[in-house]
Structure 1
Amino acid sequence: MPENVLFVPECHVDTALTRTLLADRLTFINHQHGISKVANVLRQQAESGHVRFVVGMVDKDKKFADVKYLQPFAASRPVAVRPGPDCRYAIHQHPTHSNHYLIVMEPACDTWIFEAAHAAGLAPAHFGLPSALPAFIDVMKAEDAEDNPQLIRLLQAIRQAQPAAYRELAEFVADVMDQNSKLWR
């Protein structure tokens, strides 16, 4: 396994999704609490001179545009985009640190998971989770969301069902883990 890959999710539910995408290879995850802290890790990795691959995962929310270190990512043309009404995201590459990527979830990761479940034909209620989006989001805000057994089972079912949005993210993660960056330049 590569030792020079680091994933930096923004919140607990992002961490749960990252764990699933990485098939629970936890040694590659540095959970941060908040978008500015994700930016700080990316900045510190760039300033340290490491040539490691770093992938941040954040929600596109009102704070996104205010975080100075993320602005070059946002200004760059995405290397991958999942457009459409559901399960949207963009993957940006830093313009000067080519091994640094930022996955920007839109809507927020909790809604993205809810939509991915429905795209896979899965009902959150079948996994003991709320079937209405507002209640689902409330559960995902919990500090132990990444360890919530119902969410873990739902994410495993999404991974098995492979709806398009999940499959595309999983392919990106697999390429980064194999350090096959030529696909993303």
Structure 2
Amino acid sequence: MDIFRNLAEINVDVLREVGNIGAGHAATALSRLVDRPIDMAVPAVRMLPFDEIAEQVGGPEQLVIATFLRVEGDAPGNLFFIMKPHASKKLLRSLSGIEVISDDDYTEMEISALSEIGNILAGSYLSSLADFTGLYMTPTVPALAIDMAGAILSFGLMQFGQMGDGALLIDTTFLEGDEEVEGQFFLIPDPSSFAKIFRALGVPYE
């Protein structure tokens, strides 16, 4: 996967800036949503092959909460925001101020809050990437699933009909006071979209 290595070497600063600006937009929107200051940090941004996504979140059998949607426009693709259950519950308690009744089950209100947070993140990161590349990229209405990572990615393949060979990974950390909550954002461009995105970022694509 030389193209992933080239992108990481040539444009890691650009990708980090995309992530940081997206996180800034998302933090502002989330702060408005919960009516108190929220900060976000982007500790890592990198490209990785599609088949390594599940390993990044703890393996194919790791139970996760995933918001996923289709990206439409000039560079179509698929997008996932993935958290582990303990992180999602911590996020609900500390960020959304929701009274979490059970660590094992999710109420309708919790599902709704997680969907809204995923929706805000998706829109913020996509608009950041669109600004940098000059490409038009817009999200469809997101869906939320609670399942094993491998099953969610497989469902995404069936739902969207295709997946690209690689993903842009943006590690995301929510910060409120001393609380930290981690999640991971994966943008998986369609095969035909890779060349458009890479060239727009100034990376030769062969």
- The alignment's TM-score, normalised by the length of structure 2, stands at 0.28
- Structure that is richer in strand per residue: 2
**Larger RCO: 1 or 2 (CA < 8 Å, sep 6+):** 2
Larger Rg, first or second structure (1 or 2) = 2
